[in-house]
Amino acid sequence: MQTFIHPQSDRSKAVADEPACLSGVSPLNYRHAFHAGNFADLMKHAILLQVLAQRPAATPLTVVDTHAGAGLYDLGGEAAAKSGEAALGVGRLMADPATPPEFAPLKAAIEAVNGGGPLRLYPGSPWLTVQALAPGDAYVGCELRPDDYGVLAREIPRVATAKRVRATPLQRDGYLEAAARLKASDTPLLLLIDPPFERGDEYAEVLETLAGLRRRRAASALVWLPLKDLETFDAFLRGLDALGLPDAAVAEVRLRPLSNPMRMNGCALIMIGVPDVVAQAVAICGWVATNAGEEGSRGGVCDMDGANLAKS
């Protein structure tokens, strides 16, 4: 595992290698089925579960998943087979008996969704979130694609009922839903913002949504971003810094040096106002970088000024 210091000018937006991901042709061209269980999902989902495990138990929490996806993915399906990303991600994770303990909640959830049998299904953020919440908590998942929304609306109420969690799948724009929720009463709220970054204005829309956190003392956010070139990500961080939100930390996985801006070279998860999971995130990012990355891969957590927050 490594932590690292990255200069502020070294971050930017990414486009995935896989053609179905980020072509920019249609706002709904992206299908997460191609990417479910890849290195980015492992990093995002393992940290998400650490955050949920450490949330204060006293007050019910509402999680708003602005870009929910289908919630459950068939790794034996055509999309997963075509991209091969799950095999390199969750396939390696589940085959490694020596993963850091910080992956235990994710591995347990994957085993549960597969009924203890062979790896066939991968749970997305809706499934993982709902099973990690407590009775009385609430989950709102927004998904615009009709096919993915159909799976979400069918699968998530099942796990929610078993957990006595209120779950609301919505075929609605996640940014609009987040904005509405941020204007409502100041009860604990966690936004999970995980866009496909198909559109050029997506970064601005994320920042506009995060600006709503300033009005809410009890609101927090996890924001996933791809890493491709350097300046796009830096510009996002400058925009975030200008919002003046407290307690932001940046978890990063770099699969390789960011020398080819046409590739997805890694990803980041911005953690705003969530419980302190820096040590856990360092371990998670380190394993992902080592096991999914190439020569020169790195994983770690920095503050908004690019300073390391923890050393492994």
Cα 88 off chain centre by: 18
The values of phi and psi at residue 217, to 5°, are: -65, -35
Contact in structure between 282 and 56 (CB atoms under 8 Å): no
SS3 118: coil
Task: Say how far apart CA 199 and CA 206 lie, in whole Å.
Answer: 12
* Least distance between ligand SAM and beta carbon 269 (Å): 11
Residues that bind ligand SAM (CB under 6 A): 28, 30, 32, 41, 44, 67-69, 124-125, 142-145, 148, 173-175, 194-196
Nearest to 190 by CA among 17, 25, 59: 59
Q: Is 199 exposed, middle or buried (0-12, 13-18, 19+ CB in 10 A)?
A: middle
* Least distance between ligand SAM and beta carbon 33 (Å): 9
26 versus 185: smaller Cβ distance to ligand SAM: 26
* Least distance between ligand SAM and beta carbon 145 (Å): 4
The values of phi and psi at residue 48, to 5°, are: -55, -45
* Least distance between ligand SAM and beta carbon 138 (Å): 17
13 versus 32: smaller Cβ distance to ligand SAM: 32
Torsion region of 229: left, alpha or beta (phi above 0 gives left; psi -120 to 50 gives alpha):
beta
* Least distance between ligand SAM and beta carbon 280 (Å): 18
* Least distance between ligand SAM and beta carbon 176 (Å): 8
1 versus 28: smaller Cβ distance to ligand SAM: 28
Which residue number has the CB closest to ligand SAM?
124
Nearest to 210 by CA among 220, 200, 195, 197: 220
3 versus 90: smaller Cβ distance to ligand SAM: 90
3 versus 255: smaller Cβ distance to ligand SAM: 255
170 versus 237: smaller Cβ distance to ligand SAM: 170
Strands 166-170 and 138-142: parallel
Nearest to 265 by CA among 253, 282, 250: 253
* Least distance between ligand SAM and beta carbon 224 (Å): 7
CA dist 290 → 108, 210, 225, 277, 282 (Å): 22, 31, 20, 20, 12
Nearest to 251 by CA among 191, 177, 188, 312: 312
103 versus 175: smaller Cβ distance to ligand SAM: 175
91 versus 306: smaller Cβ distance to ligand SAM: 91
Task: Say how far apart CA 186 and CA 202 lie, in whole Å.
Answer: 26
* Least distance between ligand SAM and beta carbon 57 (Å): 24
